[in-house]
Amino acid sequence: MSAEDLENYETDMELQLYREYRDVVGLFSYVVETERRFYLANNVDLQARSADGEVYFDLTLQDAWVWDVYRSARFVKNVRVITFKDVNVEELSKSDDIALPKDGTLG
């Protein structure tokens, strides 16, 4: 396999992953980013803890999807992450949460 073949394969895998993300994002309520992974989840519990003067985060996700091109099964029932790095949790807005005026004007 040439370097170009490998690059094409990786590009195809990333495109497939993006398409899967696009197809499943509407099923989830939260986007969660850690230093190592990107998740979609329906239940998020984030606890800041400390031990020996160090602060760390204990993150538990339920009903989740993992952005990882190398995983064969990206849907997981439970995920637990312990990290000293930042964790970003965002609630996804549902498309029906945003309503445009019926007459098409915004003002």
Average the pLDDT over 55-70 and give the result: 95
And the tokens for 22? Answer: 């696009």
Residue 30 has a pLDDT of: 98
Look at the chain and count its residues.
107
Q: Where are the alpha helices (DSSP H) in 3-105?
A: 3-24
And the tokens for 77? Answer: 């029932």
Higher-pLDDT residue of 100 and 75 is 75
Backbone angles phi, psi at 48, to 5 degrees: -85, 130
Backbone angles phi, psi at 24, to 5 degrees: -105, -15
pTM for this model (two decimals): 0.78
Rounded distance, CA 93 to CA 17, Å?
Answer: 22
Average the pLDDT over 39-67 and give the result: 96
Higher-pLDDT residue of 7 and 61 is 61
